[in-house]
Amino acid sequence: KLKIIDFNNLTLDIDFKEENGLLICTNIKDQGAGYNAGIMSGDELIAIDGYRVNSQTYAKRVKSMYIGQNITLTLSRDERMIDKKINVSGSKLDHIKLEKVINPSLEQTNFYNIWLSEYKF
């Protein structure tokens, strides 16, 4: 028996880096929520739904969201303030984590070994 762990995370499909306390967009997932909203690498995230965010408060804001929620990101691009509407998504199973069951039965062990033998790493 294998368990899929942590596969339904909220995401804006945007990676950020902290630069002097600012949140700078570094990677926008192709065809993801951020991409579809027109967010670009180098944009500075200023606020979410009118609430200022920084590297310390961003995670708290995201945790208060839900999948499917429409939010507005206020960004700075080339010294100009812009608002982008974005739909909060969940991870689309781009990756999952499998966890081996502790003390599996013989049947579970056999299935696990057969399953792994089908994939050549």
pLDDT in tens, 14-72: 999 999 889 999 999 998 899 999 999 999 999 999 999 998 898 888 888 888 899 99
Q: Which fold has domain 9-90?
A: Pdz3 Domain (2.30.42)
The pLDDT of residue 60: 87
CB atoms within 10 A of CB 44: 16
Q: Could you tell me the residue ranges of all domains in the chain? A: 9-90
Structure tokens at 18: 């902290």
Most confidently predicted of 16-20, 71-75, 93-97:
71-75
How many H helices and E strands in the chain? Answer: 3, 10
Give 97 or 92, the one with higher predicted confidence: 97
92 pLDDT exceeds 60?
Answer: no
Tell me the mean pLDDT in the region 96-104: 75
pTM greater than the 0.85 cutoff: no
Whether the CB-CB separation of 48 and 71 falls below 8 Å is answered with yes
Share the mean pLDDT of the chain: 84
50-59 long-range contacts, CB within 8 A, separation 24+: 50/74, 53/23, 54/21, 54/22, 54/23, 55/16, 55/18, 55/21, 55/23, 58/16, 58/23
Percent of the chain topping pLDDT 90:
45
Which of left, alpha, beta for 23 (phi over 0: left; psi -120 to 50: alpha)?
Answer: beta
